[in-house]
Amino acid sequence: MDTLLSWLQTNIFAPMQTSVTAVVSFVNNILWGDGQVLIYLLLAAGAWFTWRLKFIQILDFKHMFSIMRKSGKSDEVGISSFQALCTSLSARVGTGNLAGVAVAISLGGAGAIFWMWVIAILGMATGYAESVLGQVYKIKDSNGQYRGGPAYYIQQGIQNKAFAWVFALCLFFGYGFVFSAVQANTITDALNNSYQLPTHYAGLGICILAALIVVGGLRSIAKFAEYVVPFMGVAYILVALAITLINIHLLPGVLLDIIQSAFGLQEAGAGALAAAIKNGIQRGLYSNEAGSGSVPHAAAAATPEPNHPASQGYVQMLGVFIDTMVLCTCTAFIILLGTQTSIGEMEGIRLTQTAMQSHLGALGSDFVSAAICLFAFTSVVANYAYGESNLHMFKLDNKIGRGVYTSGYLLMIFWGAMASLPMVWAMADMALGLMTLVNIIAIAMLTPTIVAVTQDYKAKRKLQQEVTFAHQDCHIQGQLEEPDIWKSKN
């Protein structure tokens, strides 16, 4: 077995890695590097939707939580709003929260955390907008289950099939294959660092466990996420809170360091400022996924309560807040209160493990290993659901299509388990960047629909009417593929 794995690594995986490096570097340089296209685009999109939706993430902050009271209801065609939130969080809450924060700090300094907060606050409005569209333009697949996402609202709302296919292909590449490789890489690195477990054995274990869950489809994945995500999130927050309280005397200095570094007020000056902004926004986006077009797939699969697209938008907006403002901040405090980092040296999960060890001793490394295994594995599973949601676009939502997709997905997990960290992160950045570029253009074009649906929701709440949605109630761009989903009952 070891001989076969060694031959595959030498003759298949290594040459493939070398051949794609040049392409990946070129694209990332445009999107994230010298061109910084996405950094400007994401900031502009967040500001745009914050303004057009009248600071919805701030003025309706309490409503995000109140709407969760009735979020447990599902039906035969859709999962519950809470399951959709947990599914999206299971994809969001992964390497970005543990390894990604470490990468941001090691390359951008403490100030990168401030810019993660900025992109999260702005991204809450963007996340709301794309999730509303996911609901408005959702369809039923061959199994009678709700499906949707950017490819669907591009095809129906903008009525550009080619543009929709571009996004769907980017998503297959990203969430169907590359992102799961990133999660697997982080799991195997953590286990190897703590227990010297060979990466190929850990990779095989991840493949087997993932296959057992994803074979049941979206509902199986949603049920898994519903139980695992709240448990792991609460446990991680409690540990981080305890560490912060123990080191409360150091917290003012850490906060000052974050602010000074964020604005280049330290000795490194402009170089540190640029590094903080770039890495904070880049890693923040990778963690909370706002604007990337991933979360609308989970949002579209839900039957919201109240049955209105805007209500699911609020639920998914809460997901951005939990992911970055809560969980990423927990990791940042754990690292900054427990270790010193060097800008320019890329570090991943091992930096988080080292920091946790400084707080909790040997138990700290074990805790991070357990946390990353849960966090990243839930992401591996949820990523499958996002890719599967787009099989309908290509008329492949059948046994053969799902079989081919599942095989490629599992192979990429195994490859990612043994690949080098910088290469895997670079491929993830490229996939995420291409998806985001397409999605931001699409949701900007569909702004009138987002605003109209939001105004309809708020007007009915203000008049204390029954908050349900019918597509005749407001102007919807393009043409709905299945208007009966939102047909008026009157």
Binned at pLDDT 50, 70 and 90, residue 336 comes out as confident
Q: How many CB atoms lie within 10 A of CB 260?
A: 16
pLDDT (average), residues 447-463: 92
**Would the pLDDT of 138 be above 60?**
yes
Average pLDDT in the chain: 81
Are 39 and 281 a contacting pair, CB within 8 Å? yes
**Would the pLDDT of 323 be above 60?**
yes
**How far is residue 41 CA from its own chain's centroid?**
18
Distance CA 432, CA 27 (A): 11
Instruction: Give the pLDDT confidence score for residue 423 in this predicted structure.
Output: 66
Angle at 344 between CA 339 and CA 345, to 5 degrees: 60
Distance CA 445, CA 408 (A): 33
Among 81-90, 193-202, 364-373, which range has the highest average pLDDT? 81-90
Distance CA 193, CA 421 (A): 14
Q: In this predicted structure, which of 18-22, 135-139, 174-178, 385-389 has the lowest mean pLDDT? A: 18-22
Instruction: Give the pLDDT confidence score for residue 265 in this predicted structure.
Output: 62
**Would the pLDDT of 417 be above 80?**
no
Buried b / exposed e across 303-342, counting CB within 10 Å, b at 16+?
bbbbbbbbbbbbbbbbbbbbbbbbbbbbbbbbbbbbbebe
Distance CA 104, CA 236 (A): 20
Distance CA 69, CA 58 (A): 20
Return the beta strands (E) in 289-372 as ranges. Answer: none
**Would the pLDDT of 244 be above 70?**
yes
Binned at pLDDT 50, 70 and 90, residue 369 comes out as confident
**Would the pLDDT of 96 be above 70?**
no
Q: In this predicted structure, which of 144-148, 203-207, 336-340, 480-484 has the lowest mean pLDDT? A: 336-340
Residue 341 phi/psi, 5-degree rounding, is -115, 160
Binned at pLDDT 50, 70 and 90, residue 2 comes out as low
Select the more confidently predicted residue: 303 or 22.
303
**Would the pLDDT of 346 be above 50?**
no
Return the beta strands (E) in 52-178 as ranges. Answer: 139-140, 146-147
Q: Which helix (H) or strand (E) holds 319?
A: helix 309-320
What pTM value is reported for the model? 0.84
Instruction: Give the pLDDT confidence score for residue 457 in this predicted structure.
Output: 93
pLDDT (average), residues 96-116: 79
Distance CA 214, CA 261 (A): 43
**Would the pLDDT of 35 be above 50?**
yes
**Would the pLDDT of 275 be above 50?**
yes
Buried b / exposed e across 204-218, counting CB within 10 Å, b at 16+?
bbbbeebeebbeebb
**Would the pLDDT of 304 be above 70?**
yes
Binned at pLDDT 50, 70 and 90, residue 109 comes out as confident
3-state DSSP assignment of residue 420 = coil
Q: In this predicted structure, which of 22-31, 79-88, 95-104, 133-142 has the lowest mean pLDDT? A: 95-104
Instruction: Give the pLDDT confidence score for residue 301 in this predicted structure.
Output: 87
Select the more confidently predicted residue: 476 or 362.
476
Write out pLDDT tens, residues 178-214: 778 877 877 887 777 777 777 778 788 888 888 888 8
Instruction: Give the pLDDT confidence score for residue 344 in this predicted structure.
Output: 41
